[in-house]
Structure 1
Amino acid sequence: MYLIDTTDLDIPSLAYTKFIDDICELLICLDSLTQYDSTISITKDSISQLIKQSVFNRNFTKILTSGKLKILLLDLLTKGNIIKKNYNFQKTNYKEILKDYTLLNGYKTNVAEKNFFTYLYSNTLETKYFEQYIQTHNGLTIKDIGNRILLKSSVCPYCNGSYLDNKSYSKDHFLPKANFPLLSIFINNLVLSCGVCNERYKLENYYIPSLHPYIDNINDQFKFTFFEDIEFVIGIVITSPINSQIYKATENYLELFKIKERYNSRNILTNSQEFLGDLRESFLEKCNDKAVNSINDIKIIIQGMITQKIHKLKTRHSTQLFSKLHTDILLQISNNLDEEAESIYFSLFNKFPQNH
């Protein structure tokens, strides 16, 4: 729910862009070859030799001539220019596409693209030759990119409710590879998340406009609230201007990950009540220790404690579960300081203040 700065990955990720560019150039070369010499026929038997005779580096040719990839490449012949055009547009305008789907101008993938690029993602990224290709072009392997992101945030950026580590994270294609296969190895489109968010809620679903944890500070667009009159309930208020694009993007995010429903689950409600109970107990203890005798004294102490706790949470939001929820609970108490202070006054003196 908090923005994760990935600008330090801009240069290392260029190697992945270079790989897609090389595929497009290879397709264009193969197409030109058949146009130049009509006797040349590119088949599953001849394509390996033609790729090996190309000007591309050894690791690249090893990747493209191994396994099923060379067969899937056959179905992309004659499509090199259009793939290059679509890929360059999607990666260059990625942020804008997340806010305005019409920029795609009716783009729809085809079966050949989907088969090739999804296979590339699923079966190639962690192979020796691909990692050597990436490192040759000053990039980071997909594992190293994941580890670098985990150093910035060890909590799921979608739900803020699950820890991530190098053995227990899920790689989510923010724009699904089934719909956007050209972005299957585009680093900004790969979000490290928990398995619940990716594999139970998001799956192949997506909305546009969207909030993206590497682009948007989702935290700023809504706030959690709590109600405890009859039963304890967590609510959500979108703080963006209504009818704005960012308001709709926030609605889409909340719906996609079922945030309200999940935050009203028994476990999270219990966590919230325990946090609130411990908080109020700490208020009472501090006021008792300070021997307060007025409602204003209580308010000053509570506000000081809230300010300290919010500051502490801000420094730990990338490593602490439910930091967004806990911060918003503190802010709600701060906005209702009179009511909270009166409750503490009553606990201390067994009576309500007459005036303050």
Structure 2
Amino acid sequence: MLRPIRKTDCAAALNATQKMIQGFSLWLCKPKSSGATLNKAKIDRLMQTPYESLWLWNFLNSTKEGKTHLERAQHLADLPTDKKRHLKKWIIASTNVEAYFDLIPTGKKIPITLPFAQYTDGDIHWKNLKDLMEAFYIKGLKEGLAYQPNGTAATNKKEALNYHAFRDSFIALHQKDRHEYAREICVICNGELRNVSVDHWIAKAAYPLLSVCANNLVPICSECNQSPNKGAKSVHTDGSFEDWFHPHLRHPDGTLNITYEPTKFGVVLTSTRPSDTKRVENLNTLFNLEQRWTREFKGEYRKLYNSILTRHRKTGQELTLKALCQQIDFWADGLTIGQPHFEVHKALADSLRDANRLMVWHTDLIKEL
């Protein structure tokens, strides 16, 4: 999050799908809704265009673990009124993500208990809800939504936004170096974007109605997305987001810095805003950034060290302090913001220009030569 994170234009299709999901799920909660009334004719009336209706009907008739999503929706539509009331309240509270990131703290919290937690058969209802809503991402986005990237209803599958189109457009939007040979950069750690996957900032396993929410999706590198880094960790504290950054709704906006820490010959993450201290701490813990960046810092240090040794062994020239400074300057001046780990390498350059560190480094190199 050292650099701005922006939504792509195709986020409009995700917003339209989110509206579909929320509208459909709230219809399931209506007292008069039932499994018997959930049919193609009802879907036609709920949707605005023929393609939306056809898409949703086909989606509902797809299967997972030998059960159609239509059966899952019918199960929810047949819930008794008291359970529907709890579900409706939970849906509204868990999908209104923007409300939890007001500039002025309001004390609002996202629900941290499941909507059917108080019922003995709650696990059955939750599984039906979870499987149904997660399928909008697992099947819906992967195969193509009902909407074109600009948010208007598609007329065929070729027009529809899918997982790969969303991921690729996001990556392209955030690349400083647009050349085809350039390495892609992760928007979280600023390292190389290897094995990219779309992260659900707020875990879809706990909040499945956010499975295709534009504010909840961010393509990041596999190292950031997997344990022991983010994985399925929470990005709130008992439902409160006050002490947490968010890639879209509470971005640091250029206030974060990677700073050289001489006592451990590594780097630390800092902010120019003292009020963000806890948020910086949580971000670092979430992704283990300082640990990973320090590893990169030391690795690049060793790479440069060996490069200088190799060069002078080949030439046989004396390595003077002036020559060492020139080589460090030459390397540092070649750093570009479009390359992975630019900020970490810049912190390394600053550390090597420190007079004490430079003298120690020069002495070590002379010993090996």
Change (3 A) 1:347 1:87: closer
- Counterpart of 2:23 in structure 1 is 25
Secondary structure of 2:96's aligned partner: helix
- Counterpart of 1:275 in structure 2 is 304
| Candidates 17, 20, 43, aligned match of 2:35 | 43
- Counterpart of 2:162 in structure 1 is 141
**Cα distance, 1:263 vs structure 2:** 4.8
Q: Is 2:44 the partner of 1:52?
A: yes
**Cα distance, 1:93 vs structure 2:** 3.4
Q: Is 2:231 the partner of 1:203?
A: yes
Contact 2:137 2:211 in 1 (8 A): yes
1: CA distance between counterparts of 2:134 and 2:73? 12
**Cα distance, 1:248 vs structure 2:** 1.6
- Counterpart of 1:184 in structure 2 is 211
- Gap regions ≥5 residues in structure 2: 63-67, 78-83, 116-125, 155-159, 176-183, 237-242
Q: Which amino acid is 1:51 matched to?
A: I
Q: 1:193-220: CA deviations, max 9, x gaps?
A: 2223212222210243334455235782
Q: What are the residue-to-residue correspondences of 1:1-356 with 2, within 5 Å?
A: 1-7=1-7, 9=8, 11-26=9-24, 34=32, 42-43=34-35, 46-65=38-57, 66-67=61-62, 68-77=68-77, 78=84, 82=89, 85-86=92-93, 89-90=96-97, 92-93=98-99, 95-96=101-102, 102-104=107-109, 106=111, 108-110=113-115, 111=126, 113-128=129-144, 130=146, 136-137=152-153, 140-151=161-172, 152-153=174-175, 154-164=184-194, 168-201=195-228, 202-208=230-236, 209-213=243-247, 215-216=251-252, 220-225=256-261, 234-240=265-271, 244-263=274-293, 269-278=298-307, 305=330, 308-309=333-334, 312-314=335-337, 316-317=338-339, 320=340, 322-334=341-353, 336-337=354-355, 340=358
Q: 1:72-122: CA deviations, max 9, x gaps?
A: 3335545686466336631x336459x979422645443254333222221
Identity across the alignment (%): 16
Contact 2:22 2:209 in 1 (8 A): no
1: CA distance between counterparts of 2:90 and 2:149? 21
Secondary structure of 1:204's aligned partner: coil
**Cα distance, 1:237 vs structure 2:** 2.8
1: CA distance between counterparts of 2:130 and 2:310? 57
Contact 1:225 1:328 in 2 (8 A): no
Q: Which amino acid is 2:92 matched to?
A: K
Contact 2:257 2:271 in 1 (8 A): yes
Change (3 A) 1:54 1:303: closer
2: CA distance between counterparts of 1:144 and 1:203? 24
Q: Which amino acid is 1:251 matched to?
A: E
**Structure holding more helix per residue:** 1
Contact 2:245 2:283 in 1 (8 A): yes
Give the TM-score taking structure 1 as reference length: 0.68
Q: Which amino acid is 1:14 matched to?
A: A
**Cα distance, 1:328 vs structure 2:** 0.7
1: CA distance between counterparts of 2:254 and 2:284? 10
Change (3 A) 1:261 1:245: same
Q: 1:116-136: CA deviations, max 9, x gaps?
A: 322222121123453569763
**Cα distance, 1:12 vs structure 2:** 2.9
Secondary structure of 1:126's aligned partner: helix
Give the total of aligned pairs.
Answer: 316
**Cα distance, 1:46 vs structure 2:** 4.5
- Larger C-alpha radius of gyration, 1 or 2? 1
Change (3 A) 1:178 1:32: closer
Q: Which amino acid is 2:93 matched to?
A: N
Change (3 A) 1:189 1:29: closer
More moved, 80-89 vs 251-260: 80-89
**RMSD of aligned C-alpha atoms?**
4.5
Change (3 A) 1:158 1:89: same
